[in-house]
Structure 1
């Protein structure tokens, strides 16, 4: 495991799922953690989001690893709130070396049926929230002349996904943000990369709409979700990926082991990106 002893990592969306896994992996590697999460639901996410109790549980696990932690409720759509948490982190820990901009939501909806609210909330959280998080930590990193930023995109940062236009647009945008950040921040010895997960076993895709999508129609079940996930991977035995699999890549990209890597979009998807595709239901007559 890379050694992050003496470093401080800021992780957004840290209360559960991939964010909690990333925070714990960074702490296990030696970093102190600033963990934030919204800790309430949003109108357009069709599943319950994390709670304050979830965030507190993350903090307790970090402390159990012998690391210091700040756990704060903060909305990545609130630039002032992010600035406040950064100031608190620097005041208590003296520095911020790593940002993992992981906070995000997922939802379904055909592009012509999406409401303005559904479109805007998805972009505000998944894309603008990532930009605001970067913007908040960069002044400290510039002053240090050191930093590593890891953004969470998706395989949908590379490819389309029927019925999730707003999500796909946001995750494509995250890769554009990452590449431009790598160019603009490189002269200050700050690196920026992205991880692009496949289908990961988290609450984000554990709800009825996701079951139906995986089943190919209404009436899907949790078992459909689990069984059909195997079709997303090229490697034997890979279905729903464990969050810890993504975390290993996050820790690597954050660490000095990746000191010469910037501007990279790294798929962690069981080989999903190399699978050949075809239209399973072509329209033969119009």
Structure 2
């Protein structure tokens, strides 16, 4: 995956209308592929793109045909952050609360949409992920990266406080000291170093990224979808609560999961010594 062909090309059923030209979307084998498509801007995300991604993630949660999601991009960049040039200029005097509201309704909604998606989400990071782009990747359940990818906590370079959930995500992924190092200095982190720190699951040569993404997404799409959703919720919630709360949530999740067809199929296949056939229900 290199140059303008990097990222994931539209598949059968991809939406190609003008409204969606900057966010390509297709459903292939139970996998919803969401591809940022502004390579000339290193995929700096606009307001319209943000809203489109949020909507597609909500649709993925509700659609039984979707069993996994991939976020990726075309060109040399995964996402260079928010496209400030596309943000409308203030028309009046700034009032206290305006900035907080903008962040709450914008960047934070985008990150929450990934965290709350009821299907497992893979980030296939084909290039630079900076600012909100890095946080978009880190919010995903699994992160695959091309060896040329870089992750940059760029906020400090602009004199800004990290937003888009950065101060929430990073300490949980790498611990407070490492998180502060990344956020205080804003140095570019190579894909190899990101993997070493635990921010990336696998780093591969760029030309192998799409194949690995397809493999992982296919395995997830063939899995017990509701069990994966409940597992995602348990892991995410466990970082914010105490042991008693986590244990109670675990028991409740297992109770809910045992009502699904896939859970019964998994148990039956074990007893019958055969491979399970999960249907996502």
Question: What TM-score, normalized to structure 2?
Answer: 0.29
TM-score by length of 1: 0.29
